[in-house]
Amino acid sequence: MAFIGLKGKEVIFWLSATLGLEAYSVFSNPPIALAYRILNFVWPPLAAISAMGSRDIKKVIKILAILIIALNLYSIYAAVSLRERYMGYFWLYNQQEYLAASWLSSSNLTVSCDVKASYLLSDYLNMRTDVFKYLRGKPELFFLYGEMLRNGYVLYGGYIMDFDPKKLLDFSLIYSNGQVEIYG
């Protein structure tokens, strides 16, 4: 480590500062969470520590590696099986969402929906969508899928707002397939 000018204490301070920032991102809930990027921040100091060759440090590194692997396994489980709110569930579409989108594609109206539905409708079916119309007032059509009730309304940049189903009381249900409802 001497060839890059780092000594043992400096690397430990680097690692502790990085872990401190990660703890802040996990427990303080800032607007853009850094928690899912922990591996990008922690691997450089861990690699530097392990390159120093201390046997005690190697044991610590093994324990940290097992811990990081366990966290990654939970992250995969949370994203795929639990469909956690901030774990990218909005990139997973199901058959009912495709069926509702294809049924809706025959209309020439602008559809109000969150970013998940907008990507499906605008990029896959070339429909006009408006992510913010639902937030500003009454839209022509509103696309509601089951996960939106549980996880919220997905906006750009991964920001998710809580969804208030009471706002739909002024609308008429025009389509439902058990997973997706379209209101007009």
pLDDT tens digit sequence for 17-34: 777 777 776 666 655 555
DSSP 59-75: HHHHHHHHHHHHHHHHH
Helix residue ranges, H only, the chain: 8-27, 38-51, 55-77, 95-104, 115-118, 125, 133-136, 146-151
CA distances, 114 to each of 102, 129, 144, 175 (Å): 17, 9, 9, 17
pLDDT tens-place string over residues 150-163: 888 888 877 788 88
Say whether 129 sits in a helix, a strand or coil. Answer: strand
Sign of the dihedral through C-alpha 132, 138, 142, 147:
positive
Share of the chain above pLDDT 90, in %: 26
Looking at residues 28-54, what average pLDDT do you find?
Answer: 65
Share of the chain above pLDDT 70, in %: 77
The answer, as to whether pTM is greater than 0.75, is no
